[in-house]
Chain A
Amino acid sequence: MRRSLHALAAIVVMTGGAAAYLLLPRPAAAQAVMLYKNPQCGCCEAYADYLRRYGFTVTEKPTHDLAAMSRGVGLADDVQGCHLSMIETYAVSGHVPVDVIRRLLGERPDIKALTLPGMPQGSPGMGGTKAAPFEILQVSQSGVVTGVYARR
Chain B
Amino acid sequence: MSNFLAPTLTRRNLLAGMAGTVATTLLPVRHGLAGAPVVRDFALRPAPGRSPLLPAPRDPTPVWSYNDAVPGPEIRVRQGERLRIAVENGLDEGTTVHWHGVRTPNAMDGVPDLTQPPIAPGETFLYEFDAVDAGTFWYHPHQRSFEQLGRGLYGPLIVEEAEPLRVDRDVTWVLDDWRLGEDAAIADDFGSRSDMMHAGRIGNVVTINGRVADDVAVRRGERIRLRLINAANARIFALDFTDHAPLVVALDGQPVTPHRPASGRVVLGPAMRADLVLDCTGPVGSRATVVDRFYDGLEYDLVELAYGAEPLRDAAPEWPVALPANPLAEPDIAAATRHEVLFTGGMMGRMVMEEMAGRAGGDGPGGGMMGRMRSMMGMMHGDGIWLINGVAAKGPVLEPMLTLKRGRSHVLAMTNATAWPHPIHLHGHSFRVVSRNGEPTPYREWQDTVLMAPREIVEIALVADNPGDWMFHCHILEHQMSGMMGVIRVA
Contact = CB atoms under 8 A, between A and B. Distances in A.
Interface stretch (B86-94, B111-119, B292-300): B292-300
Interface stretch (A1-9, A48-56, A101-109, A139-147): A1-9
Interface string B185-206: 0010100111101110011111
B206 A63 contact: no
B351 interface: yes
Interface string A66-101: 111010000001101010000000000000000000
Given A5-B204, A82-B347, A127-B351, A39 B295 contact: yes
B348 A67 contact: no
Interface of A: 1, 3-9, 38-43, 60-68, 70, 77-78, 80, 82, 119, 121, 126-128
B347 A128 contact: no
A133 B210 CA distance: 48
B68 to A, nearest CB: 23
B298 A3 contact: no
B318 interface: no
B193 A77 contact: yes
Contacts, number: 96
B214 interface: yes
A64 B178 CA distance: 11
A40 B197 CA distance: 12
A3 B193 contact: no
B297 A6 contact: no
A70 B197 CA distance: 15
A109 B54 CA distance: 42
Given A64-B204, A67-B194, A128-B351, A1 B298 contact: no
B297 A39 contact: yes
Given A8-B180, A41-B348, A67-B195, 7 more contacts: A1-B212, A4-B207, A39-B199, A40-B198, A64-B298, A77-B192, A77-B193
Contacts of B204: 5-9, 64-65
Nearest to A43: B348
Interface string B62-79: 000000000000000000
Contacts of A6: 204-206, 298, 300
Nearest to B180: A8
Nearest to A126: B351
Contact of A1 (B55, B193, B203): B55
B86 to A, nearest CB: 35
